Amino acid sequence: MDLHRIKKSIWHTTLLFVLLFVSLTHAQPPQETLEIKEITQPVEIIKDLWGISHIYAQNQSDLFFAQGYNVARDRLFQLEMWRRTATGTMAEILGEKSLRNDIGARLFKFRADMKQELNHYHPDGEEIITSFVRGINAYIDLTNENPGLLPIEFRFLGIKPEHWTPEVVVSRHNGLYRNVGSELSLARRVQAMGGDLVEQLSNFHPGDPQLELAEGLDVSIIPNNVLDLYRARSSGVRFAPEDIV
């Protein structure tokens, strides 16, 4: 069976935003033309036989804009769940059962200098992440104009996607402290047994850590429920039949 590419062109004046798709059919679907204002030079996305997108752009800003647009087109409901989890707004759609999740999310929210954080990932981090977010939001705006583009989950829940911000992207740091429970357990063992003995009884290979508590820290006074909000924040989103409208 021959492979044919389905070409979708997104024009704004002389700017071209092209989506090429691999098709297993012989029919050549019609072209679709949309306006995109945010890109400055031609951008091409080729989706291969396995559904993997290959993005070709002339500059960095357009590249990451296209990445954001493309991921929103493919995973919009997942992005909306990520945004609500990160911003502590899940209870808006799921009610009281998600309230502690939201409280935990807001408790662990990033509060340091955002520009410094973005540029810590990459010297051009602020530009890259801002462009990525603009791409996501451009597709969300398109769904507002054409609700038929929304995945069926939005219709089930009676909701619409909302705009992303760089803060939502930075919420990825929430995945970096998932070992906080084991860290607390390790600290308690070090306080009770001493760092040397814990090292002998544990397997830290290939590392060779020097286990000692921070000066003045008494982990014995930390209650077991201190991590309840952390665990609530880290728990997954669960839907029930009554959540469907």
Q: What is the pLDDT along the chain (245 residues), one digit of tens a residue?
A: 444 443 443 334 334 555 554 444 434 434 455 567 888 988 988 888 888 999 999 999 999 999 999 999 999 999 999 999 999 999 999 999 999 999 988 988 888 899 999 999 999 999 999 999 999 999 999 999 999 999 999 999 999 999 999 999 998 766 666 778 888 889 999 999 999 999 899 888 888 888 999 888 899 888 888 888 888 877 778 888 889 88
At residue 10, the pLDDT reads: 38
Q: CATH 1.10.439.10 spans which residues of the chain?
A: 59-175
Task: Give dist(CA 33, CA 27) in Å, integer.
Answer: 19
pLDDT at residue number 175 = 62
46-67 in b/e form (b: 16+ CB < 10 A) is bbeeeeebebebeeebbbbbbb
Choose among 117, 111, 139: nearest CA to 129: 117
Q: For position 245, what pLDDT does the model report? A: 82
The neighbouring-strand residues paired with 54 are 46
> Hey, which CATH number is domain 59-175, 1.10.10.10, 3.40.50.2300, 1.10.439.10, 3.20.20.70?
1.10.439.10
Q: Of 91, 118, 115, nearest to 102 (Cα)?
A: 91
pLDDT of residue 34: 57
Task: Please give the Cα distance from 146 to 156 (Å, whole number).
Answer: 17
Give the separation between CA 133 and CA 177, rounded to whole angstroms. 24
DSSP result, 16-30: EEEEEEEESSSS-PP
Q: Which pTM was predicted?
A: 0.77
Given a contact cutoff of 8 angstroms between Cβ atoms, the answer to whether 118 and 170 are in contact is yes
pLDDT of residue 9: 39
